[in-house]
């Protein structure tokens, strides 16, 4: 009887795992592909117009580290420490970045990356010297 119960429990567990939605590494990393039509800036780097991958560098152990890569993942443009900030209620959930002010002739700095569907964003640190 105990063996039959164990077999039924194992089969139920396997069925539950098969029917549950799968989480990919990209889901954990909060991976977003973001396209810019004009140059933008992150601390220490200017990104030309184009598509970039924004994601958590180590989503298990280091939520504060963000990495920005080329769309084909062949080049890393930025990896750095950020701080978590709560998304304001009035900010549309579709907004992926917030910008800081810049001179008219300069690339606009990205102040915060808002991962899709997340309540917490990642604010970049800029050297203000």
Which one is predicted more confidently, 25 or 116? 116
DSSP string of 58-99, one letter each residue: ETTTEEEEEEEEETTSS-EEEEEEEEEEEPPTTS-TT--EEE
Supply the pLDDT for residue 32.
Answer: 93
Mean pLDDT of 59-73: 89
Q: Determine the longest span between alpha carbons in the chain, in angstroms.
A: 77
Domain boundaries, the chain: 23-124
Which one is predicted more confidently, 36 or 11? 36
Supply the pLDDT for residue 30.
Answer: 79
Q: Tell me which DSSP letter residue 49 carries.
A: S
Supply the pLDDT for residue 58.
Answer: 80
Mean pLDDT over the full length of the chain? 80
For residue range 74-85, what is the model confidence (pLDDT) as tens digits? 999 999 999 999
What span, in angstroms and rounded, lies between the C-alpha atoms of 118 and 120? 5
Residue 128 pLDDT > 70, yes or no? no
Closest to 78 measured CA to CA, from 90, 89, 70: 70
Residue 124 pLDDT > 70, yes or no? yes
């Amino acid at each position: 009887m105990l063996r039959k119960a164990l077999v039924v429990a194992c089969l139920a567990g396997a069925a539950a795992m098969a029917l549950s939605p799968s989480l990919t590494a990209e889901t954990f990393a909060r991976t977003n592909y973001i396209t810019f039509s004009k140059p933008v800036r992150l601390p220490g780097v200017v990104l030309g117009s184009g598509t970039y991958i924004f994601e958590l560098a180590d989503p298990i152990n280091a939520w504060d580290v963000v990495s920005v890569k080329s769309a084909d993942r062949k080049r890393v443009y930025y990896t750095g420490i950020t701080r978590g900030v709560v998304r304001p209620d009035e900010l549309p959930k579709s907004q992926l970045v917030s910008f800081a002010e810049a001179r008219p002739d300069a690339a606009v700095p990205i102040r915060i990356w808002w991962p899709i569907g997340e309540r917490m964003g990642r604010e970049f640190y800029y050297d203000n010297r």
